[in-house]
Structure 1
Amino acid sequence: MPIPAAGYPLTAALSPRVQVVETTDSTNADVVAAVTADPAGWPHLSLLVTDDQRAGRGRLDRTWTAPAGTALAVSVVVDAGRIPMEMRGWIPLAAGAAMTRAIDARLVGHGPSAQLKWPNDVLVDGGKICGILAEAVPGSLDTVVIGSGINTRMTRADLPVSTATSFAAMGVEVFHDFDAALEGAEVVMMLRLQQERMAGQFIPSAREYHHLYGLTKKRLARAVPEALVMHPGPMNRGVEIDSEVADLIDRSIITQQVEMGVAIRMACLDILTRTARGVEGWA
């Protein structure tokens, strides 16, 4: 699996060990074996990732395979010592909920949303896009390895069953390089970095985030000349977007977007609460 020149700074800001391998049979099996052999070398949130897993495992020892480069397999070490023993059965579901939110964030503008199917599958429009397997490390009561397999670039012809789906099958192209993603774009939709909601330091620094993912005029030049710039607001100027881009008169529609967004949200709330309020209407 190729590593971008910039590495994975957002992941590295959270994980003490990020190991990328070209190929493996099973990331979960590898991490379980590694933690067993060297617990100190694989602390909480250490992870192993590849885009070529040859013998992935699911619940009930079901096998999971995909052509090289078409799926992402990642296994993460979790210290469950602070979780009461009777609550640990919820770990796979919590992991599934987190993965559902992560996948849903990649589907903005593509129609269907991600949903969690009990206990460990993530579905999009009824098709399985991700499976999750959590297993305890033998000999350790407090260490759990959570593995996930996400169908990324798998075409419909490559999908193993008709009930599966992938980002590529839905027409969603996944990029790991922001500059590459901007090439030929007609609309650039930025998202606000919600630092006030972060429980910890999720990024090395705002400056580094801007260097890697901030929208500047130089970066915007990779899009088509008439590309529109959008942002849900409020903006962190100088972090995810530069002021000179946000204020482009002929390209930025952020002000109109925010203004109309309030009206649309008010209309949705009005319609959805009409029954409860005893008001006749669509809902």
Structure 2
Amino acid sequence: MSLLAGKTVLLTGATGGIGAEVARQLSGEGARLILTGRSVEKLRALQNQLAAETLIYPCDLTSTAEQQGLLQFCQQQGGIDVLINNAGISQFGLCQQQQFSDLVSINLLVPMQLCQLFLPMLHQHKGQILNVGSAFGSIGHPGFTGYCATKFGLRGFTEALQRELAESGVQVKYFAPRATETSINSSDVVQLNQQLGNSMDSPTWVAAQLVKQLTSNQLRRFLGWPERIFVRLNGVFPALVDMGLKSKLTLIELFAVGKNH
């Protein structure tokens, strides 16, 4: 029997490319799901595809009032055992083209607030939190300044919270995929990855790795090769990564500017 069977899992960003696949695989593991997202139609369509007990709660998580509504809904269902902060957005463009407020709100502030909000419940259930970050949470990449900043922040928050709760019985995990074949990546990003020779993973495979981490004691999981090497290299010898990305800067700028001209 799966370790997730009978566990109640709250999944944000459930209708996105990775989120929907995670929901399907968790359902197959026998987990009881509470799915959130902004579109009630997409949530209902996903709910109808799943075999295990699945509840939906459409909401805008950038609203603290709607966060409280989600908390009350989960309390009415007997609480949760797992919180997966998966909701996120990306922007590709030069720094002066980006809108930082939405990135910070959705990618960083919302998961921080939800962790804070659900901690008492998770303490009671000896549960776990899994925050979905990115390889770009460890590697600052041109064209993704805002996205990198939020994912760096989420990684730092997750690490600090994990250490703070080390003796509490609540596990806090960080999951970092690389580029994935979902709609979060614009056509410009897909073309750029092709030009740079960067691989993109299928959301089905990424979701399987996430579920695997949930059923293990692994606190940090980074996906992709050579991305895992670059993560380590950037931490120890960032100047080498500086040089590697500088050689690609002209191509990155071409795609970043080209999407608006």
TM normalised by structure 2 equals 0.31
Higher strand share: 1
Higher helix share: 2
Pair member with larger Rg: 1
Which structure would you say has the larger RCO, counting Cα contacts within 8 Å and 6 or more residues apart?
2
